[in-house]
Homo-oligomer: A and B are copies of this chain.
């Protein structure tokens, strides 16, 4: 039931069927819009090199999406959905050509109410934030790419980020209220999924539906201050991070802990961070700056930099040096650097963090991001790895896994092999219904339902 390459003449028929909808056929443009940030991984870079769609379609609304869906079904053309292409797993790189469905024109904010908003999939996170802040709210969590990333892309390809220290991950119940998805059935339709049913499509890389609209909860918009705190000892920095994460009386949004030499890659921040120092990059509510000073004192750190919410537009945005932007900046200095994505065990003593820090030294530079999992703040990590060979990278991954570290391997392009590790039967069943011809982002899943093979 997989798709077969379309004869060249069929493209004309498909294009004709989509009259009035924006279509990009320029090869350079199409190649560009077939990319994402999988290039952070030398392995994916090699595996996905040259993979490109045949054309890009940019629908302006759901009606156009339905027309595109109908055409793809009619001509049996693979369809790969993309937002802004800020993912790192090759989520929106098409393996079998076909149509790239670029959702970035669908930027309608349907409504924003206290605590909740409904938007089209192509709305940028920063754009919703701006609108929501007018009434005192903001996105609960955002990736470090919030300026460019779309909400639909974040839901389909992301998992959490800045704010996850409060609200956990996107997949946690209550962090996504509704999804509206267009199918690739014989007669495509839009289906509204609410409550637990959103999990059928959440973080599924567009393999089982085109997300057109989303209803998402918002969090109260505190005036967020930014701060850099430096430490002479990495473990003091890490323990400070855990303590801040566990301080229920202090309001925070971001706890990023970087071991030296990572700060040396963060150029505009360098002036604040002494050579050899380890740095905590933080966002806390302005009202929590006073208790923060006490906590910093307790852990022997120094507040090296501070910016109040009113100055948010001035200078750099600290958040854009955290999460996977840390990797981006490091790679700008040294392109041989790659990264891991890890979840350390819930253990306040940070024993395993310390062990890995000691064991791998400069080869695996420690970069912790604290976030909540099932009510407990734990250190996630996006360690920077000095890449040598695939064998060595896998050896490092294996060693981490043996010590109880969960690795959401960012060097694979198969959905189940990354953060998932297991097959989501509910998602597969939904896929079977909405994608009878296997046209959605083909090749990104290793497993299909048994009766489907």
Contacts and interface: CB of A to CB of B under 8 A. Distances in A.
A250 to B, nearest CB: 4
22 contacts: A115-B251, A116-B287, A136-B220, A140-B249, A166-B248, A167-B249, A173-B247, A173-B250, A173-B294, A174-B248, A174-B249, A174-B251, A177-B287, A177-B291, A195-B290, A195-B294, A196-B291, A217-B251, A220-B220, A246-B375, A247-B375, A248-B372
A415 to B, nearest CB: 22
B250 A174 contact: yes
A294 B250 CA distance: 30
A251 B172 CA distance: 12
A316 to B, nearest CB: 25
B220 A293 contact: no
A287 B217 CA distance: 7
A20 interface: no
A286 interface: yes
A223 interface: yes
For the complex of A and B, 10 pairs with smallest distance between CB atoms: A246-B375, A168-B248, A174-B249, A220-B220, A175-B249, A174-B291, A172-B249, A174-B250, A115-B287, A248-B372
Interface in A176-191: 177
A223 B116 CA distance: 12
A173 B217 contact: no
Contacts of A177: 287, 290-291
A5 interface: no
On chain A, which size bracket covers the interface?
35 or more
Interface string A269-311: 0000000000000000111101101110000000000000000
B293 A195 contact: yes
Contact of A173 (B168, B287, B291): B291
B115 A222 contact: yes
A2 to B, nearest CB: 35
A294 B195 CA distance: 7
Interface in A223-258: 223, 245-251
Contacts of A376: 246, 375-376
A166 B248 CA distance: 7
Interface string A86-118: 000000000000000000000000000011100
A374 interface: yes
A194 interface: yes
B285 A115 contact: yes
Contact of A114 (B166, B174, B223, B374): B223
A249 B217 contact: yes
A293 B115 CA distance: 18
Contacts of A288: 174, 217
A139 interface: no
Scoring A222, A248, A285 by chain B CB atoms within 10 A of each residue's CB, the highest score goes to A248
B290 A375 contact: no
A377 interface: yes
A168 B377 CA distance: 14
Contacts of A286: 115
Contacts of A250: 173-174
A248 B217 CA distance: 12
Contacts of A166: 248
